[in-house]
Amino acid sequence: MAQSVAIEFDRAGVRAAVVEGGALVRAARIEAPESESAAAIAAALRTALPEVRWSRAEVVGVVAGDQLRCRLLKLPPAPDADLPDMVRMQAGREFAASDDLGVVDYVPLSGDEATQRLVLVAALSNDDLHLLKQLAGELDTSLERVTPRGLGSASLAMRVDPSLAAGSRMVIAAAEESADLVVLQAGKPSLIRTARVRPDDELAAMRSEARRTSAMASQQTGERVESQCFIGYAELPTQTASVGLSLAPLLTSRGKLSGAEVDAAGRLSGVIGAALDLHEEAAAAIDFLHPHQPTKDNTQQRRLVLLAAAAAASVLLGIGWCYLRLWSLDNEVAEKQDAIRQQQLKVEQLQPTRERAEAVAQWLATDVDWLDEIERLGRKLRPVPLDQEPYPADSDVFLRALDATPNTARNSRGGRIDITTASKTPYSYDEIEQGLRDEDHSVETSVSSLSTSGDQYRWEAKTTLRVENSRAEGSP
């Protein structure tokens, strides 16, 4: 016989129950994997449950807490065939805060096509359902159903105490850092809640949550909860209608767990009940993998109407798509043309800058570093600082004028520097010429004359310096 495995996971970890041959063989808590990906959860399950033959096993996904959204809806009289569409439409309004309505299933509680309908509707996001399907694929197993954890606990409670299937009862089942509260009306769930509780204040919190849930059930259904059944709690609230339900007799008679495993199984009632229901093929009140679907009407007239409507919708959709596509292309063309005009305007605005840049580039094309040449010329004319002691004042020379001219001929190199200098004596010019000459510089002319300015620097000389190389002495 195939193994039936119930799997639940959240941020707190992974819980699983394995049923084989009608007996519960494993009920396990598994530490949360490093990530909530399907591959990581599958690896954790394979490690923790090596006895499971996954390729031949049947799996039920168990959901609760933030994954699950439940509401009790009152709907107008309607035929059974129209009820799924009505439920989904009303659920979309009830869960309007969520962008993803996801998969919707429901439990019909009362009413028919002539009287008001009362249904319990539950919704699961498409992402959560997709993750369960991915997990089944990673395990190479068959996902048979997806059901709320609270319904598994309620089913297990009714196995232990069949009287819970009559009247209005509440099942409070302990879970990891939370509790499931399920109100049963004649064995059918009319309210499902999951409450977060702190371990240090669990009893008081559950007393408060039980009162709140009882009040909600009475207000919505008009029936008072007759008793409260607690599963997995060592202590019970002091209400007279509170009853503690022990799973030990059932798990001992129908399981192969050790005593310690039986004691720890109290907080795993949701996955245990779901695994037993799957193994015994008990109908699931809510199954997100196989939700209620509208009854198909196979009459010829309706088929033709649907085909005509589909054809018309396809034609309109095609026309609309073509129009939108053309409109989109027109917008793209207009945007591109506007961008081209903007770029052309920028090019025109940059034309003067380009012309100046070309002139600078042409000047830079001469291989003379003129700033370096001027710096070299200053060091040659006045090789020591003015504040040097003693300063050679008699041979001092200073520059009156300078004109630097590059060679403009095509493929030419170098340039010329025309300088006018002044000194106290005519004997300084020999030293000037000797200092300016080197392998990259030559002095073509040096004409001196006596100035009429009347100051001490009376001797004036005009010298032409030829620059032959691109790098002056001392340039970097």
More confident residue, 9 or 413: 9
Question: Residue 475: pLDDT band by 50, 70, 90 thresholds?
Answer: very low
- Average pLDDT estimate for 15-23: 92
- Average pLDDT estimate for 414-433: 80
pLDDT reported for residue 476: 43
- Average pLDDT estimate for 256-270: 83
Cis upstream peptide for 390 (omega within 30°)? yes
Compute, in degrees rounded to 10, the torsion defined by CA atoms 179, 235, 12, 277.
Answer: -60
> CA separation (Å) from 91 to 52, 62, 103?
38, 21, 10
Average confidence score pLDDT of the chain: 85
Q: Does residue 128 carry a pLDDT above 90?
A: yes
Compute, in degrees rounded to 10, the torsion defined by CA atoms 427, 433, 436, 441.
Answer: 180
152 and 272 in contact (C-beta within 8 Å)? yes
Span 426-472, pLDDT tens digits: 766 677 778 788 888 888 766 777 777 667 888 888 888 888 765 44
CATH number of 366-467: 3.30.1360.100
pTM of the model: 0.61
More confident residue, 438 or 54: 54
**CATH number assigned to the domain with residue range 4-279, chosen from the 4 options 3.40.50.300, 3.30.420.380, 3.30.390.10, 3.40.50.1980:** 3.30.420.380
Angle between helices 351-365 and 300-349 (to 10 degrees): 50
Q: Does residue 402 carry a pLDDT above 70?
A: yes
> CA separation (Å) from 149 to 54, 162, 193?
22, 19, 10
Residue 183, helix vs strand vs coil:
strand
Span 341-373, pLDDT tens digits: 888 888 888 888 888 887 777 666 656 778 888
Residue 459, helix vs strand vs coil:
strand
Span 380-390, pLDDT tens digits: 877 777 777 78
d(CA 352, CA 406): 24
pLDDT reported for residue 415: 85
pLDDT reported for residue 206: 85
d(CA 71, CA 444): 106
Which tokens sit at 464? 């032409």
From the list 145, 149, 151, the residue with the least C-alpha distance to 176 is 149
Question: Residue 138: pLDDT band by 50, 70, 90 thresholds?
Answer: very high
Angle, vertex CA 332, rays to CA 327 and CA 335, nearest 5: 125
Span 237-260, pLDDT tens digits: 666 567 888 888 888 887 778 777
Angle, vertex CA 154, rays to CA 221 and CA 255, nearest 5: 170
**C-alpha dihedral sign at 460, 465, 470, 474:** negative
pLDDT reported for residue 154: 95
Question: Residue 298: pLDDT band by 50, 70, 90 thresholds?
Answer: low
Span 161-220, pLDDT tens digits: 999 999 999 999 988 888 999 999 999 999 999 998 887 778 788 888 888 999 998 888
Phi/psi at 265 (5° precision): -75, -5
Angle, vertex CA 216, rays to CA 213 and CA 222, nearest 5: 125
Paired sense of beta strands 103-110 and 68-75, if any: unpaired
Q: Does residue 97 carry a pLDDT above 70?
A: no
d(CA 414, CA 406): 6
Residue 399 φ/ψ region, left for φ over 0, alpha for ψ in the -120 to 50 degree band, beta for the rest: beta
- Average pLDDT estimate for 85-110: 84
- Average pLDDT estimate for 295-313: 75
